[in-house]
Amino acid sequence: MARVEAGPKATLQPPKLRFPLRLRCVACDREHDPLQVRYRCDCGDILDVEHDLDALRSLDLRRVWEQRWGSRRFPCDSGVWRYRELILPVEEALIISRGEGNTRLYPAGKAGDYAGIDHFLLKHEGENPTASFKDRGMTVGVTAARMMGAQSVACASTGNTSASMASYAAVAGMRAIIFIPDGKIAYGKLSQALAYGGKTLQVRGDFDVAMQLVQEVCAKLNIYLLNSINPFRIEGQKAIVFELLQQLDWRPPDWIVVPGGNLGNSSAIAKGLRELRDLGIIRAMPRLAVIQAEGANPLYRMWAGGGPFQRVENAETIATAIKIGNPVSWRKSLRGVQETNGVVEQVSEQEIMDAKAWVDAAGIGAEPASCCSVAGAKKLRQQGVIAKDDLVVGILTGNLLKDPDAVVNYHTDNLGDRGIASTFANRPIPIEATFEAVERALGG
Ligand code: F0G
């Protein structure tokens, strides 16, 4: 049985932070108090958590984190809280953790051959407690909710954020209120939200409409918002890259490739890299490649076209996790791409599902949005942007079982209405219940 842990009962004193933090506006630079609930600056833009790196520099964090590797003790058994000095240096009693992180880094196997990259590793964030990378941000988000004294938390979601939030809220004894686009999220994710007891509102409209609505509701009803617009969520998600680098003995890869939807994850990875570099824990910066689906590609359009950011109306893709036209964190993500000398690329529906067929056939498996990492890496390799012998790490953001419909429809030639051919289908074979029929099916 999975181990579910909440720290001992929280104290009633105002929370203390072991190291000072600030919130800072990404657009106008204004500072805000981190212990007050706030997601935006007065100028309307979003906020970064800023750590006091000078205070952290004296700690030799790399040595501290190495000593914690493999720890069985709460909260250092978590692949997020192991790095807590650079995430949220809060007292242990407040921490809500499910031992998240500690996800494996696999050789990409057949998916690497398909992408044409010799040294291709896949970090499988689908191995988190609720089967997506969201748990890393959520353990910190729900802990921050507790730090702020919140009783209720809310999010808009294409599915994984809501599954994660519902689980962590259940552990924390909080009320979870979920806004999902009606009929447009994968069943694995909807099942989790319902099962963990989240109050699930199916909003008539798409994710972008639900995101707008949840912000209004949280402001008016004093509910703590746990989308990645919440800067503490981003802090937790940085642990993907901390753990990845620790797995590589702190030798940065040449590339990190991630799918981009609401653009929180790419923002977090870039922020984490910047902080590690500024602390002297890594010397070189990996290049970040953010991959969007063609039908939900506002960052790519901006990147390729050089114009201002513009939302995409009626975003559409089979990778429902990233069916987002108006990503909240575009400015942070773009800053991250620029700071790492990175790129933004887009991939077609066919490219996503074919890449997925190879991620799955490699025995690793991931949901469609995750496979943008492999489809994008292949495309960047073909363009010569990624070199054949570069060390590339693709982030697989969610588990294969999140979206079984996409799998079965691909392998049974049922995606024609979306213009997707089942190029690498592994079709099920109906047979009579006889030995001869089995022999025929096995090709003699
Ligand atoms: N991959 C998966 C499986 C996701 O669920 C998401 C986002 C992304 C990639 C994109 O990450 O938004 O940080 O750029 N899912 C959110 C949700 C939007 O509601 O679960 P991002």
Which of the listed residues 178, 209, 265 should we mutate to test ligand 1's pocket, taking the one with most ligand atoms within 8 A of CB?
Answer: 265
**b/e map 24-38, b = 16+ CB within 10 Å:** bbbeeeeebebeebe
Kindly give the number of the ligand 1 atom that is closest to the alpha carbon of 161.
20
C-alpha pair distances (Å), 21 with each of 10, 52, 198, 315: 20, 6, 31, 36
Instruction: Find out whether the beta carbon of 263 lies less than 6 Å from any atom of ligand 1.
Output: yes
Instruction: Find out whether the beta carbon of 132 lies less than 6 Å from any atom of ligand 1.
Output: yes
Instruction: Find out whether the beta carbon of 139 lies less than 6 Å from any atom of ligand 1.
Output: no
Kindly give the number of the ligand 1 atom that is closest to the alpha carbon of 262.
12
Whether 214 contacts 154, CB under 8 Å: yes
Residue type, 203: V
Return all residues near 212 (Cβ < 8 A) that are at least 6 apart.
none
Closest CA to 373 of 321, 422, 412: 321
Interatomic CA distance for residues 102 and 1, integer angstroms: 17
Instruction: Find out whether the beta carbon of 325 lies less than 6 Å from any atom of ligand 1.
Output: no
Instruction: Find out whether the beta carbon of 398 lies less than 6 Å from any atom of ligand 1.
Output: yes
Helices of type H across 306-348: 330-339
Taking the alpha carbons of 245, 352, 259, 159 in that order, is the dihedral positive or negative? negative
Instruction: Find out whether the beta carbon of 326 lies less than 6 Å from any atom of ligand 1.
Output: no
Interatomic CA distance for residues 255 and 288, integer angstroms: 6
Q: Give the closest residue (by CA) to ligand 1 atom 10.
A: 261
pTM for the model: 0.96
* Coil/strand/helix, residue 22: strand
Instruction: Find out whether the beta carbon of 329 lies less than 6 Å from any atom of ligand 1.
Output: no
Per-residue pLDDT tens listing for the chain (444 residues): 334 444 444 444 567 788 889 999 999 999 999 999 999 999 999 999 999 999 999 999 999 999 999 899 999 999 999 999 999 999 999 999 999 999 999 999 999 999 999 999 999 999 999 999 999 999 999 999 999 999 999 999 999 999 999 999 999 999 999 999 998 899 999 999 999 999 999 999 999 999 999 999 999 999 999 999 999 999 999 999 999 999 999 999 999 999 999 999 999 999 999 999 999 999 999 999 999 999 999 999 999 999 999 999 999 999 999 999 999 999 999 999 999 999 999 999 999 999 999 999 999 999 999 999 999 999 999 999 999 999 999 999 999 999 999 999 999 999 999 999 999 999 999 999 999 999 999 996
Kindly give the number of the ligand 1 atom that is closest to the alpha carbon of 261.
14
